[in-house]
Amino acid sequence: MALAGMLAAVTALSASAAPLTAPEVVSKAASAISAGKVMEVSFTISSGGHASKGTLKASGNKFAVSLPEGSSWYNGKHLYSYNPRTKETTVVTPTASELAESNPLLYVNGGVKGYTAVFSKTRIKGKYVVDLTPKSRKSTVRKVTLTINASTFIPEKISVTGTSGQTADVTVGAVRRNVKIAASEFEYPAAKYRGVELVDLR
């Protein structure tokens, strides 16, 4: 009986030490970033030689994103997107893909389904690099590459390549969990944007 118990323990230990699969890594990353129901994230997005710093605030399925090029608010039902260049705000009842375009972390936490996860050919010490490829040929995204810290499972970089071949890199900075964020932060501040044209596409 003692020998049988030892063999069972060794078998269990071997099973627990088995390498993670790519979907398991993404699942752990999703758990890591959603450990706090309310969070604030700083990030840098770069594409075509241009880089901008922004912030993301999230609570449950609601979020608000602020960038110099524009801001977005999702109240759980409608997505508002303000473009300072055109002085317009569009409002839609968004698809999962449209939400991910505003909040790339949704590629990690399951906001976008229909992707296949495999480990990338790129290897980085201390990181997991996972490629997400869409199952649908109608997707506007060709590939999403996630660079995930192997110790904390916090996503450090999200690279989104569109069907045009252009890539946008989102580098995640500080992640603050369980912060206090007022519910009004996820609503479009219409009073602040008086005079801005509202384009309702709902």
Number of domains in the chain: 1
pLDDT exceeds 60 at position 14 = no
Higher per-residue pLDDT: 147 or 32: 147
In a domain, 40, yes or no: yes
pLDDT exceeds 60 at position 191 = yes
- Tell me the CATH number at 161: 2.50.20.10
pTM attached to this predicted model: 0.86
Q: What pLDDT score was predicted for residue 16?
A: 54
Q: What pLDDT score was predicted for residue 89?
A: 98
In a domain, 10, yes or no: no
- Give the number of other Cβ atoms within 10 Å of residue 96's Cβ: 13
* Residue among 41, 72, 30, 44 nearest 181 (CA): 41
Q: What pLDDT score was predicted for residue 64?
A: 98
pLDDT in tens, 40-90: 999 999 999 999 999 999 998 999 999 999 999 999 999 999 999 999 999
In a domain, 9, yes or no: no
Helix H or strand E segment including 197: strand 197-200
Confidence of residue 34 (pLDDT cuts 50, 70, 90): confident
Q: What pLDDT score was predicted for residue 97?
A: 87
Written as six digits, the tokens of 72 are: 């977005």
Q: What pLDDT score was predicted for residue 111?
A: 60
Q: What pLDDT score was predicted for residue 198?
A: 96
Residues 6+ positions from 192 with CB-CB distance below 8 Å: none
Written as six digits, the tokens of 54 are: 């922004």
Determine the straight-line distance between the first and last CA of the chain, rounded to whole angstroms: 67
- Work out whether strand 155-162 and strand 62-67 pair parallel, antiparallel, or are unpaired: unpaired
* CA gap 117, 108 in Å, rounded: 11
Confidence of residue 8 (pLDDT cuts 50, 70, 90): low
In a domain, 28, yes or no: yes
In a domain, 4, yes or no: no
What is the span of the domain harbouring residue 80? 20-200
pLDDT in tens, 115-134: 999 999 999 999 999 999 99
In a domain, 11, yes or no: no
Confidence of residue 100 (pLDDT cuts 50, 70, 90): very high
pLDDT in tens, 122-177: 999 999 999 999 998 888 899 999 999 999 999 999 999 999 999 999 999 999 98
Confidence of residue 10 (pLDDT cuts 50, 70, 90): very low
Which residues in 6-126 belong to E strands, given as ranges? 38-47, 50-59, 62-67, 70-74, 79-83, 88-92, 115-119
In a domain, 73, yes or no: yes
Written as six digits, the tokens of 174 are: 């500080």
In a domain, 2, yes or no: no
